[in-house]
Amino acid sequence: MVAWLNTITGTVFLPGLRKIVSEDHDRMSAAIRFGARWHTLASLALGCIFCLLSAPAAWAFGDSQLTMLFLLCGLQVPLAGLVNLAATLFAGIRRFRWSSMLKAADGVLGGVGAVAFLLVWSSATAMFWGLLLGTAGSAALAVAMMMKEYPRWRLITYAPMWNRLWYWTSVSLPGAIVLGTLLTVDMWLVKGILGNSAAPGLYAAAYALSRFPMFMVYGLGLAVFTRVSHAFHHQEFALARLVSVEALRISIMFLLPICTITIVSSSELLTFLFSSTYAGAAPALSVMMAAMVLFGLLETGLRLVSATDRPGAGLVILSVLLAAAVAVNLILIPRFGIMGAAWGSVLVFGVGAIAALALVFRYLGALPPLLSFVRCGIGSGIAFALGASWHADGSMVLIKLSGLSFAYLAALVLSRELRREDLRRIRKSIWP
């Protein structure tokens, strides 16, 4: 429930504010003024509504002790909204280190507060109090950072602010809900269709591991969005295309080996992390990792398309994919079990990746570089061959993963796919 609240506060006005300031950094002062007033007000309203519904919600779940937990979640909403606001605006002007620092501080303060209160009072309510106080600390830091940044920008007005923000919110909010549902629908359908058998537990373990690369995908998408948005707005189409190609190249460069190394070590990883009971999920994990490569291209492609001020295209694609995912899973799971759900993800994300890349080519003239794909494929093949002949148990699994990663990077360097000039060019393309 907290995750859904964060999704809502993270998509009301914020994607539009990121787009507006990424186009022209001089709009930062206007964005801070707008966000401090209207986004904070929206977060407060949402938090108050949730607080008012805390008692009825606890009654609906049949546990009156949940009332305080729901109430604390509601109090956290406006505080988390301030953190999201500051992080979004700093990302919009490509202060990625500031944005990351703020998010990291929020995670650390919230985690430390929750653990400290849990150790002292040993209750879920105490843990939520600690989480609330940690979020309050990060919110205070966010306010201080915005107050420090505000005087550095010219005090200008931006007349289309409201119209553009309403449009982006109307697209981003349902888009975030559809995307979140798309990424979890297979797991819920597996549980609903296969019932209380061991299969849902196996699939949940594979699901958790397969989602690990998403952190890299989201981080890369945020970085290239702001750079492409700025270049496209100023009609620097060659630069927008260059950054887009590099974004797709980096996605392939990192997602392909993660997929390959996980596949060749799937049984060992599951045993190391969850025990040998979950080794049976290895085939499903292997297929789901392939699906995540396709999802990475899908997500990166949609970010690039939205940077051209066309977020609606992403909503249409995701909505179609969600309907397709439900249909495909309903057909495949009863017949093939968890492997049907895994292959369904490959099919759905594969179609989505093709559609997203087609739009990237249409609006930005960029496609994934074929030669880079071949070189990364060869490097991944070398890592796979080494991994297939290297059996590891216990902590040796970590050494195996490190060794295979080093072998892959060495292959990229030897094939001249990864060069110092490339790293320098990528940095100049993304960082101001």
pLDDT score for 426: 55
Q: Rounded to whole angstroms, what are the CA distances from 260 to 146, 284, 301, 404?
A: 42, 14, 22, 10
pLDDT value, residue 19: 95
Please give the pLDDT value at position 1.
59
The answer on 150 and 282 residing in a single domain is: no
Supply the pLDDT for residue 181: 92
165 in a structural domain:
no
On whether residue 163 sits in a domain, the answer given is no
- Of 123, 158, 193, the residue that ends a domain is 158
Any domain includes 115: yes
Mean pLDDT, contiguous 10-residue spans, the chain (432 residues): 69 93 92 92 90 85 82 89 93 88 89 88 86 93 92 85 93 92 93 86 91 82 90 94 91 91 91 88 94 94 94 94 97 94 96 96 92 91 92 88 91 83 58 50
- Give me the pLDDT at residue 54, please: 84
* Residue 244 counted as domain residue: yes
Q: Are residues 144 and 179 both part of a single domain?
A: no
**Does the residue 350 lie in any domain?**
yes
pLDDT at 3: 63
Whether residue 59 is contained in a domain is answered as yes
Residues 25 and 102 in one domain: yes
User: Could you give the maximum distance between any two Cα atoms of the chain, in Å?
Assistant: 63
pLDDT at 222: 83
Same domain (yes/no): 147, 188: no
Of 164, 298, 304, 328, the C-alpha closest to 225 is 304
Last residue of a domain, one of 97, 130, 158: 158
Give the closest residue to 244 by CA, choosing from 224, 219, 218. 224
Number of domains comprising the chain: 2
Whether residues 91 and 203 share a domain: the answer is: no
Please report the pLDDT score of residue 197 as a whole number: 76
Residues 294 and 325 placed together within one structural domain of the fold? yes
Please check whether residues 105 and 129 belong to one and the same domain.
Answer: yes
Radius of gyration over every alpha carbon of the chain, rounded to an integer in angstroms: 23
Residues 325 and 394 in one domain: yes
- Of the candidates 94, 127, 158, which is a domain's last residue? 158
The pTM (predicted TM-score) of the whole model is 0.88
pLDDT in the model for residue 422 = 64
**Which among 123, 142, 192, 194 is positioned nearest to 14, based on CA atoms?**
142
Any domain includes 132: yes
Q: Do 209 and 279 sit in the same domain of this protein?
A: yes
Nearest CA to 243 out of 152, 329, 365, 114 is that of 365
Same domain flag for 198 and 296: yes
Looking at the structure, tell me whether residues 152 and 215 fall in a common domain. Answer: no
Q: Are residues 154 and 175 in the same domain?
A: no
Q: Domain range for residue 258?
A: 170-430
